[in-house]
């Protein structure tokens, strides 16, 4: 399966997945760059999967559906907040899109109905604004314990899974991560690699889950260095996560 990253708006990403029987789009921030990418590859569009209701993830849905007649799938819990869904889904559901098996993971926190789309045969999960490269989404509608539970679900996937997130926030996330775990050698190396990639205008929002587990502070509340720096040596992982998220909000 071929996966194509499509930059949209200012810092959003959409993703195209070429499956055996069709092409699947994950999120539609705007139509024009997605149409351009499809035409450049000579592809149509069979399925459009929406992760959550925010406008910068659904702004191009109606135009793409009108152009390609694609099936639109998204979270049932947010159906009243987004363009009409042909296929409402919820956590635990499994379905086929473009000949690709898709598992729905409910990952509330950023929004209450946010879902991630896991494609196990492609070793890929599309997480939008839940788990992000070296970060996680702001908690707009949920709670910190809710977001921690969501991230824990994603962290339990195979470490070989590629994580495709929704925004080019990685450089700023790296700067923050170094403030809470400055001695993490893998993080230091990754921050240098990210800086080089962004200088070359290469996307950095996709990476292996194993790399996230080694460097993303939001997945590392058990890190002794983080706990010592925060003065939370005996706190629960959920409480340490909440403090990291609160510090990122002020960063």
Is 2-250 assigned to CATH 3.60.15.10? Answer: yes
54 is in an annotated binding site: yes
What tens-digit pLDDT sequence spans the chain (251 residues)?
899 999 999 999 999 999 999 999 999 999 999 999 999 999 999 999 999 999 999 999 999 999 999 999 999 999 999 999 999 999 999 999 999 999 999 999 999 999 999 999 999 999 999 999 999 999 999 999 999 999 999 999 999 999 999 999 999 999 999 999 999 999 999 999 999 999 999 999 999 999 999 999 999 999 999 999 999 999 999 999 999 999 999 99
167 is in an annotated binding site: yes
110 is in an annotated binding site: yes
56 is in an annotated binding site: yes
What is the 3 state secondary structure string of the chain?
Answer: CEEEEEEECCCEEEEEEECCCCEEEECCCCCHHHHHHHHHHCCCCCEEECCCCCHHHHCCHHHHHHHHCCEEEEEHHHHHHCCCCCEEECCCCEEEECCEEEEEEECCCCCCCCEEEEEHHHCEEEEECCEECCEECCCCCCCHHHHHHHHHHHHCCCCCCEEEECECCHHHHHHHHHHHCCCCHHHHHHHHHHHHHHHCCCCCCEEEHHHHHHHCHHHCCCCHHHHHHHCCCCCCHHHHHHHHHHHHHHC
Each domain of the chain, given as residue ranges in start order, spans 2-250
Stated pTM of the model? 0.97
The residues annotated with a catalytic role in the active site are 52, 54, 56-57, 110, 129, 167
């Amino acid at each position: 399966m071929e996966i194509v990253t499509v930059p949209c708006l200012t810092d959003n990403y959409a993703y195209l997945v070429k499956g055996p029987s069709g092409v699947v789009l994950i999120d539609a921030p705007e139509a024009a760059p997605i149409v351009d990418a499809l035409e450049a590859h000579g592809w149509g569009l069979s399925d459009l999967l929406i992760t959550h209701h925010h406008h910068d993830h659904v702004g191009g849905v109606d135009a793409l559906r009108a152009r390609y007649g694609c099936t639109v799938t998204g979270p049932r819990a947010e159906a009243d907040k987004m363009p009409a869904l042909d296929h409402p889904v919820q956590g635990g559901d499994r379905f086929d899109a473009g000949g690709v098996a898709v598992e729905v993971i409910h990952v509330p926190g950023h929004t209450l109905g946010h879902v991630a789309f896991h494609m196990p045969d492609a070793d890929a999960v599309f997480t939008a604004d839940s788990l992000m490269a070296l970060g996680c989404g702001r908690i707009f509608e949920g709670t910190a314990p809710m977001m921690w539970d969501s991230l824990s679900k994603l962290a339990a996937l195979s470490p070989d899974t590629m994580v495709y997130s929704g925004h080019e926030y990685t450089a700023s996330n790296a700067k923050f991560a170094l403030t809470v775990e400055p001695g993490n050698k893998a993080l230091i190396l990754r921050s240098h690699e990210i800086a080089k990639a962004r200088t070359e205008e290469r996307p950095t929002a996709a990476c292996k889950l194993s790399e996230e587990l080694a460097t993303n502070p939001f997945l590392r509340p058990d890190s002794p260095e983080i706990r010592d720096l925060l003065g939370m040596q005996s706190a629960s992982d959920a409480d340490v996560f909440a403090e990291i998220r609160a510090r990122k909000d002020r960063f």
